[in-house]
Structure 1
Amino acid sequence: MATSVKMDEETKSRLERLQAEIRLKTGKQVTQQEILERLVNDAAESKAEVIDSFRDSQVPVDDDAHEAFHDGTVASGQKTTEDDIDDIIYG
């Protein structure tokens, strides 16, 4: 069962250019539906990457943000174990 998908003109144009390039480089005529199916299947196999692409910020962060984060930390010179952390958190 086919369902229509709304997209802006720029996205539609890019899909058409991709379709033309596939035909030019492979000699195969593929439909836009076939291209979209392939893209969705590929994205489903690497879900984490797709999900991360929708996050407001990406890791690794830029150097300024990294430096700002570490500016507030101080090395105490003491080794902290998981037991130490458990004692602090849980008492």
Structure 2
Amino acid sequence: MSTSVKVTDRTKSRLEELQAEIRLETGKNVTQQALLERIVSETYESKAALIDSFRDEFESPSEAEIDQWLSGTSDWGIETTEEEIDDVLYGE
């Protein structure tokens, strides 16, 4: 069974480049279908990296940025429990 998949011009160009490199390196001609099947099969074996690539990119703040952010806080000398914070945020 064959199903078509739409790809961008950039992706199509990259597939063509990979095809050409494989031909140069191995002397074998591979179809884009075979290339995509290999890419999916090999990526499927180590899904974690692929899944992580779709996570929101978060750049951790530097120590200086953390210090600057924390410099705006002060200790009021009042102990606050998690339950009290929940009550304020979510109501009783």
TM-score by length of 2: 0.65
Answer yes or no: is 1:42 the counterpart of 2:42. yes
Secondary structure class of the residue paired with 2:22: helix
Q: Which residue of 1 aligns with 2:17?
A: 17
Higher relative contact order (CA 8 A, sep 6+): 2
After superposition, the CA RMSD in angstroms is 2.2
- Residue 53 of structure 1 and its aligned partner are, at CA, apart by 0.3
Distance 1:40 1:24 in 2: 22
How many pairs were matched up?
A: 71
Q: Which residue of 2 aligns with 1:80?
A: none
TM-score by length of 1: 0.66
Superposed CA offset, 1:1-32 (max 9, x none): 11111001111011011101101110011110
Structure 1 runs of 4+ aligned residues shifted over 3 Å read none
Long gaps (5+) in structure 2: 71-80, 83-92
Rg (Cα) greater in structure: 2
Q: Summarize the alignment of residues 1-91 of structure 1 with structure 2, pairs less than 5 Å apart.
A: 1-57=1-57, 61-62=59-60, 65-67=61-63, 68-69=65-66, 71=67, 72=70
Distance 2:6 2:36 in 1: 13
Superposed CA offset, 1:14-56 (max 9, x none): 1011101101110011110111011101111111100000111
